[in-house]
Amino acid sequence: MESFQEHYDSMIDAITRYMPGANMELIDKAVNYANEKHKFQKRKDGSPYIIHPLSVAEIVAEMGLDTDAILGALLHDCIEDTDASHDDIAKLFSPTVAELVEGVTKLTRVEFTTHEQEQMENLRKMFMAMSKDIRVVLIKIADRLHNMRTMQYQTPAKQISKSRETMDIYAPLAHRLGMQKLKWELEDIALQYLDPAGYNELMSYLKAHEEQDKAFMNVIQGTIKDRLASVGIHNTTYGRIKHVYSIYRKMKAQNKTLEEMYDLYAFRVIVDSIPDCYNVLGHIHDLFNLVPGRFKDYISTPKPNMYQSLHTTVIGKQGIPFEVQIRTWEMHETAEYGIAAHWKYKQGGQGKGEEKDFEWVRRLLESQQDTDAEDYVNSLKIDMFDDEVFVFTPKGKIVSLPARSTPIDFAYAIHSGVGNSMVGAKVNNRIVNIDSRLSNGDIVEILTSKNSRGPSRDWLTICKSNQARTKIKQWFKKEKREENILHGRSSFEAEMKRLNLPLSSLNHPDLSPQLLQKLSFGSWDDMYAAIGYGGLTATKAVGRIRDDITRSVKTQQDPASVIPVKIVKDDPNAVKSRHAVNGVIVEDIDSCMIKFAKCCTPVPGDDIIGFITKGFGVSIHRCDCPNTSGRFDPKQSGRWVRVHWANEDSQPFETTLELECHTRDGLLLDVASTMSSSRVRVKELSGKDLPEERTIFTIRFEVKDTAELDAVRKRLLNIRDVISTRRGQN
């Protein structure tokens, strides 16, 4: 078991190496305070809880941050997990330290309806604190890194959920802050739990080729060093294998095996000045053959996260391509620790970073306004992690946008007023469509007009940046409320109809307030407006209240109304049988036209009820079909009649099943094979991909009764990656 002293000594060593001017008296005071507050708590491995804050503080010290940041790291769980308060920490240490701790603390005392909503609120709070003090997120990333390092002690479910969150949020955040070293470690650890087989295969391959790789890198490294020494350029040169997740992602993106991956090696040449960088580049291109199109100059055009370096891919005599990165020592520190290194260089370790330079933090704060929680969390992955494209204004200012951005994204990156009055665009002095994809180096000019009618709703699907999408939604929210209500109501009612949910439930005096509370709106018009301007989708809105409506319909049944009765085939008390039509007998009506409702596709064995239609005979529904809720309406109750299945053997009946599945290759073939072996006639089989790697299959087929249907459902549930089945409602 790990000991307190071991981790304390390791933290002190890191502080001595990276932050020698730290206030050790205050740090020891914080260690003792945190140790006292956490004394009754244990880590999952049984070790004292204080080891976690000590480890986080060590990571923060390695970033070269100041005393306040180290104190914040040591105390970061005190408010959340102990009886310590913000005021206590402010009095004992300082208000700044208390704000850092508060910024890192999660919203554990607030109840949320969904995981996405909880995640969004936590991120919103963290970004708010970031906008005041960037050290908040640096401590948070250090906290997540140590948690990932000790993830082996968590349950498998926790390992997967935390690893997914790390890959979706914290690794992109580290990338956006330029902290490549921490980003790589977060990704590699997360991959161990998200795809252990893939990770182990990669590690085994790299270990088996370790000696071969070392020999190759030593040859290249020696060649570069000898050339630079001969021309008097002082340098530090070393080679490395690219990190595991980088190789893994490239294999997936290019659909290649490990044996087909050649671009595994990267060499760094670190020199003393920018002119030396370009001199080294010339020598590299003289020593090795350049791979066309693989040279990038991030020194003259830095990335938004401050990353600077020259990148070139070349091929040596061995025929193996490799990347060479050329940078100064200051650039190297920034590449490893991003904003933390920037803080250290610009402020001399005094802890007053230039947060105003991080405009993207403000944009992320803006983008969460009027945005659905799940959409916001998903958009963060794009805004923080997607590759950038760099374009220019006509005056030469660089604007960075997500890859695949359009002139619409550019216009809203300049100003919301420019985007809202946009009527066209020029790229490289030529008129282009507003959905044209921008490329690196394009010069973009936005054409505006005072007579512009504003953005189109279609722009929401064209633009790629969350910033543009948010500003368009805000325009529609402000300028077009009545239009939004009409548009949103139409979309919402269409979705309700598609799912056969009664619109009358929205006006029920008891149910309506409950539904609005579930949706977090004060009125139906407010919700319709939100759907209209794009802050919420009709599918998500109906999905949130679907179960409540269905449950309410069932529980509000009136015993005095028509009571559906299931009459089994051999029931001696059954009413006098009349002539059966299509296997169904309608009480008190003989030889009437029968049709089976497509909304619920009843089969023998289901409880059923009939509805007298106008001109189409009696429509047969399952008793649990949402469309039967009308039988409790006094105006329609007279049109509902008792029906039951006939005793004689009948023809097959058509029904529908929906399968919810995890998406994988070959699943459709497995489903089709199972249906074939079940000896039922399949009329239609279709599938639709959903978010989060889910797939819905809809199968229309014929069965004799519910017993045969249940047998088919059981066989389908035995297929790998099938999650659930349910009777379809069209």
Catalytic residue numbers read 80-81
With tokens 């740090």, the residue in question is: 27
Contacts of 179 (CB under 8 A, 6+ apart): 141, 336, 337, 338, 339, 340
Residue 582 burial (CB count, 10 A):
13
**In this structure, what token pair is assigned to residue 313?**
């891919």
- 665 three-state secondary structure: coil
For residue 661, what are the β-bridge partners? 695, 722
Size of the chain in residues: 730
| Contact in structure between 153 and 43 (CB atoms under 8 Å) | yes
Give one DSSP letter per residue of 523-587, joined into a string: SHHHHHHHHHHTSS-HHHHHHHHHHHHHHHHHHT--TTS-------TT-TTPPPP---BTTEEET
* CA-closest candidate to residue 19, choices 78, 60, 73, 77: 60
In whole angstroms, how far apart are CA 503 and each of 553, 557, 630? 12, 17, 11
Residue 588 burial (CB count, 10 A):
9
* Rounded distance between C-alpha atoms, residue 626 and residue 630, angstroms: 9
**In this structure, what token pair is assigned to residue 678?**
């079940």
Within 166-292, residue ranges assigned H as helices are 171-176, 180-194, 196-208, 210-230, 244-254, 274-287
- 646 three-state secondary structure: coil
Strands (E), 582-678: 584-586, 594-596, 608-612, 618-622, 640-641, 643-645, 653-662
* Rounded distance between C-alpha atoms, residue 136 and residue 664, angstroms: 39
| Contact in structure between 269 and 325 (CB atoms under 8 Å) | yes
Residue type, 347: Q
- Quick one: angle between helices 67-74 and 135-149, nearest 10? 50
**In this structure, what token pair is assigned to residue 705?**
């009764």
